[in-house]
Amino acid sequence: MPSPHQILQSVFGYSTFNGPQEAIIAHVVAGGDAIVLMPTGGGKSICYQIPALVRPGVGVVVSPLIALMQDQVDALKELGVAAAFLNSSLTAAEAGQVERAALAGDLKLLYVAPERLLTPRFLDLLDTLAARAALGLFAIDEAHCVSQWGHDFRVEYLQLSVLAERFPDVPRVALTATADTMTRQEIRDRLHLNGAREFVASFDRPNIRYTIAEREDEHRQLRAFLAERKNEAGIVYCLSRKKVDATAAWLAKSGHRALPYHAGMDSAERRANQLRFLREDGVIMVATIAFGMGIDKPDVRFVVHLDLPKSIESYYQETGRAGRDGEHSDAWMLYGLSDVVQQRRMIDTGEAEEQYKRVSRGKLDALLGLCETPTCRRARLLNYFGEPQPADYRCGNCDNCLSPPETWDASEPVRMALSAIYRTGQRYGAAYLIEILRGNANATVKERGHEGLSVFGIGRALSDVQWRSLFRQLVALGWVEVDTEGYGTLRLTTEARPVLRGEIPAFLRRTAETTGAKRERKPRAELEGLAGGALALFERLKAWRRETAATDNVPAYVILHDRVLREIAVERPASIAALGRIAGIGENKLRRFGERLLALVNND
């Protein structure tokens, strides 16, 4: 059999492995079990695809999404790899054909949904393959779905321990892009991978710029953000289906190619919108978290959150759908204290056990800390995932590093806010407390007699924006908590007492009056090093790729990634041999597309 290096070069068109890929592949090829944590776009798939091509038999890949299976199988076929999938989209006759191909030894990779794998029919198929020594490996993709703490939990994943029990001699590799320490242990315990070697790549995605801003005028802020990103593909996440529909409609009316996606839509319409997003350029998908896991589109240039996610894991996973190709991308989020109230209420009023609620509150608090930190956001993310960074770490590609926020001694205003909470009976939310602090004697304030309080009007020196920021930071610091049973009212914690008494100073981040200021942003062509003839050639190559993808009925990136086209445009290879040295062009693609690409380079 060819070596992993030979397959990397001949099939995938790369000369070197990235990060821990080589060690992972060697371990699995030798028959070892593995748990692989690697960021989105880091090359997880190669970690089981190459071992499946090296080892005898077929590699069985458990994947939770039909769309992901289709995309990966299409991509493998374009590379000349014998691959297929089994899921509910196939007819009985089509499924039977795939099963016969597996038994005949005609497949090297077989993708299957966890529900299908657990059926007696498929387990019998695996028994037959095992008896013939024709099972190469099991790969469990999106392994974090086994965690009952996460929003991607799939009950079928809990039953995948059957693979260890039934086929103990077949190596298994569990892969995910997002798992904190607790989730890693769940993967190990629930999938019976206690003896597996763990490989953890850096969680850093240096090409993604993280920006988190206070929600002021959502439409105005989003319009300004998108104005600098015309004709770029992106995802806009909203918490509710209603907001998804409204935002998609507003964006479409504003001239953007925006489509909605949520679980309440007709499945055919949902599928059609997903296909358009994957196969067309410049489409914006407005979606709930129902959209995204396994989306393999490499040129998503931005991910927007218009509502606060549930945890840092959710935020990291969702923002990780941007920039899978390694190019400059944005993770941009708006949020306010109302988001925290809403998320806490969802946790507290849910039907989950108290232990789950306690963990969920802790995860939300960690996310709030990320939002309110005055220091590098990337450092905060990496620290959360067990990659400690020095206190003075600066990534240079997040809003806090690019425009460092000031900190100020807010001890006096903080005591004003805490006193206002206390003197109003800990029965009101931030908006009402700000009215009192700023001395707004409206009808409600007068009706309740609060204009006579000692705290009435003592905070006129701060604006509404500054007070909102201050209350958010009080919650983030744990001095104030949200009482969800009291409709989002604020109350003091025991930790607030020494602050209120003046025994502990309060240094907070200073919030600017507006978060809508633009930063100079170079045109994408300039960022990608394209100009003049190279840019013209790049556009010709993209047009050819669109036509070829339409003919093959696959997404454009399955033919060749933007990075490959850009390198061709810059290098202008003059021969098949020179074209073959472009990273990302394997033997099958060189054979299929080589002559046409050279003709485009020569402008024939």
The torsion angles phi and psi of 139, rounded to 5 degrees, stand at: -115, 125
Cβ-based neighbour number of residue 309 at 10 Å: 24
In the predicted model, what is the mean pLDDT of the chain? 89
| Span 422-471, pLDDT tens digits | 999 999 988 899 999 999 999 999 999 999 999 999 999 999 888 988 99
| Span 391-423, pLDDT tens digits | 889 999 999 999 998 888 999 999 999 999 999
89 closest CA partner among 234, 213, 271, 242 = 271
**H/E run at residue 214:** strand 208-214
CATH, range 524-601: 1.10.150.80
- What is the pTM for the complete model shown? 0.81
Q: Measured between alpha carbons, how far is 38 from 203 in angstroms, rounded to an integer?
A: 7
377 closest CA partner among 396, 350, 349 = 396
Going by pLDDT thresholds of 50, 70 and 90, the confidence category of residue 255 is very high
Q: Longest Cα pair distance anywhere in the chain, in angstroms?
A: 86
Count how many Cα atoms sit within 13 Å of the Cα of residue 238 in the half-sphere of its side chain. 20
Cβ-based neighbour number of residue 476 at 10 Å: 22
The torsion angles phi and psi of 60, rounded to 5 degrees, stand at: -100, 120
The torsion angles phi and psi of 104, rounded to 5 degrees, stand at: -80, -5
Q: Measured between alpha carbons, how far is 395 from 380 in angstroms, rounded to an integer?
A: 11
- Laid out side by side, the sheet with 109-112 consists of 83-86, 109-112, 58-62, 135-140, 172-176, 34-37, 197-200
CATH (one of 1.10.10.10, 3.40.50.1000, 3.30.413.10, 3.30.1600.10) for 407-509: 1.10.10.10
Going by pLDDT thresholds of 50, 70 and 90, the confidence category of residue 521 is low
| Span 261-319, pLDDT tens digits | 998 999 889 889 988 998 888 999 999 987 876 677 888 999 999 999 988 888 998 99
Domain segments of the chain: what residues? 4-200, 208-335+373-395, 407-509, 524-601
Domain 208-335+373-395 classified CATH 3.40.50.10420? Answer: no
Contact (Cβ atoms closer than 8 angstroms) between residue 302 and residue 332: yes
Q: What's the DSSP call for residue 398? A: B
Topology agreement, domain 4-200 and domain 208-335+373-395: yes
Q: Provide mean pLDDT across the span 349-375.
A: 84
Count how many Cα atoms sit within 13 Å of the Cα of residue 81 in the half-sphere of its side chain. 27
- Laid out side by side, the sheet with 258-261 consists of 208-214, 329-335, 300-305, 233-237, 284-287, 258-261
Contact (Cβ atoms closer than 8 angstroms) between residue 81 and residue 111: no
Count how many Cα atoms sit within 13 Å of the Cα of residue 445 in the half-sphere of its side chain. 20
Q: What CATH architecture applies to the domain 4-200? A: 3-Layer(aba) Sandwich (3.40)
Q: Provide mean pLDDT across the span 102-120.
A: 94
Could you please report the per-residue DSSP string of 351-384? SS-HHHHHHHHHHHHHHHHHHH-SS-HHHHHHHH
Per DSSP bridges, beta strands 480-483 and 489-492 are antiparallel
